[in-house]
Chain A
Amino acid sequence: MADPILRLSQLSKRFGQFEAVKGIDLAIQEGEFFTIVGPSGSGKTTLIRMLAGLEEPSDGEILLRGERINETPANRRPTCMVFQSLALFPHRSVGQNIEFPLKMRGVPPVERMNRALDLLRLLRLPEDYYKKQVSQCSGGERQRIALARALAFDPEILFFDEPLSAIDYRLRKTLEKELKDLHRETGKTFVYITHSLEEAMVMSDRIGIMRLGELVQVGAPDEIYSRPANRFVSEFMGEVNVLEVKPNGAGLHCPVLGSTLQGPDGKADFESGYLVIRPEYLRFIAPGETAENTVTGVLYNEYALGSRIQYQVRVGEQVFLVEKLREQRYGGKLDDEVTIGWEARDSVLATE
C-alpha cells in the first residue's frame, strides 16, 4: 500500500484532567473517504479539530505526507473543514463566500470569480446564485455552497464535522449520496465525522468507530457490519439481538434462555461475552423445519419499517427482534406461539 496521506500516531488530547482523545493510531490513504463514527462525548470532534489545526494535540503526532504538522495552525494547513453549522458568512453573497479562501490567498478578482462559477457548476447550483445572499438559500443549497467554498482553494484533505446532522431525513439521504458522488468527482481525501453509522455506511470506504476517546474498530463498512469487534460496535450498528453467553464445552451457555447455543467457529480464546445476531438473520421456523439454534416464544408485536417488517418475539425475559422483507412476512397473528431460529455462522461473538 502507498504511503498514507495522513498518519496519526499515539495522538492524544487532554482538557485538564479529562482525556478526550486517548492515543489514537490511524493511517488514512490518499483519496479515501474515511468516516469516524461515535456517540457524543466519544472525542470524535476533538480528534477532527486536531486534524484541522483548530486544537493542538497534547501528545502524539499528526503526519501529513510524512511531515509533522502538530504545530501548523489551521490557516497554513492544506486542509479545509466543513463545519456542523456550515459557518457560511451571513454578511456575504454566495460568490463572496466561495471566493473567501482565494481572497485570503491574494488570488486576483477575475480568477476568483471564474473559480467560483466553476464550483457552482460542479455543485449543480445555478450561476446566478453568485450574487444571491446566503440567507435566501435553502438548507440543501447552503450545504452545496459550503462544499464549494471548502473546495475553492483545492485543499488536499476535506474534513467534515457532522454537516448533515441538522438536516431532515429525506434531504439528508440525498445529500449523503451527492457527497459520495462529489468524492468520486474530485478524488480528494475526505475525513468525515458523524454519530450515525447508517450515514457512515452509505458514504465511506472505511469506518473508524470511536468510544470514550479510543478507536474501537477500524474497517470497511461490510467488515464492521458483519464482524463487529465488540458489543458496543454491534449495538451502535442499530437494533441487534444480544445474548450473554459463556462457553461450556458443548457450546455456549445462555443463562437468560437456560439453554446451550451453537456459536460461530473460531475465537477459541473466547471466555465470556455476547452472542450477537442481526434481526434479518433470524427466521420463523415452521413445523418440520430446523435450524442450528432455535427458541420458542410469543409473537408480541410487529412494526412496519418500509420495505421490511420487524417482529418482536418474547422468549421469557428475553426480547428478540426478527426482520423479514415485506414479501416474506409471517402469516400468523399476534400472541401466536412461534419458533424462531438462526444458523451458528450468522451470529457473531463479541466482548463487552
Chain B
Amino acid sequence: MIEVKNLYFTYPSGVEALRNVSLEIRKGEFVAIMGQNGAGKTTLIKHFNGLLKPSKGEVLVDGVNTESVSVAKLARKVGFVFQNPDNQLFSETVEDEISFALKNFGFKDTPLRRRVTWALKLLGLTEYRKASPFMLSGGERKRVALASVLAWDPEVVVMDEPTIGQDYSQKEKLRQFIVQLNMQGKTVVVVTHDVEFVSECNPRVILMSGGEILADGFGKNVLTNIELLTQASIVPPQVTEIFMGIKDLGFPVDIIDLYEAKELLMKRLGRK
C-alpha cells in the first residue's frame, strides 16, 4: 500500500531529517512508528500523503509516486489525523467541520449528509452534531478531528501522537477503536512514543532514531531489545522491565503483554 524506497529528506534549513529510509506497509497492516521526539517520525509520515516530497529516493502510495500527484489526491487515500485537534478545527458546528473535507473532495447533498451521519455515529458524536467544536472537551475535540478524517473513508489512516494529552480511559477507548478499524480492513499507521500504549495494541513496530530505521518487527521483539531501545532513547514497557529484573531466575525477557506475563508467573508461582 505504501512503499518507501531509499528516502532521504533534508529541510530547507539544512537539517537532514531522514537518511536512507526504506519500508513497505501492506494493505490492512497495523504499524506503530516509534522513536524519540526529533527521530524523524513525523517527517516520514508526512511523505505518505505528499505533504513533504523526497529530497532523494521515492515514495509510492498504492503504486503511485507521490512526486507526481497533489496532496489533495493522495489525501483521498491516506487520511491524516494531526496531533493537536485545535490545529484544524475552525467551523461553527461539528457537522460543518466534518463536511469540510467531504466538500473539498466533491461530495454533495445526500451522499455528503449520509457520510457525516455515519462518521458522527462511528465516534459517538451524534448528540454534538449542532454543537460548536470549541465548546467541547479535549477528548471530544480529538474525536471530532478523527471523525472529520474518517468521514471520507480513506484506505489508510495515519495518526500522529494520538495518545498525547489523553487520560488512561480515553487512551483505552482509542485503543479499542483503532484495533476495530484495523480489523475492518483499514491500514493503520500510528506515530507515538507511548510504549505502554503500543505494548497493549501489539502492532508491527518500526523504531526510528536520528532519521534512520533502527528496527522493524514484532513489538515483542523490538520493545524488549534493550540495546535498540537505549539507542532510540525509549523506555521499555514496565512489564518488560519486570522480566528484565528477574531474568536470572530463568524467565524470558521478551514479554510485553500483561496477561502473558501473568500466565508465565502463574506457572511458576502456582506450582509452589
**A and B held together in a complex:** no
Query: Which residues of B are at the interface with A, using a C-beta cutoff of 8 A?
Result: none
Interface of A toward B, CB cutoff 8 Å: none
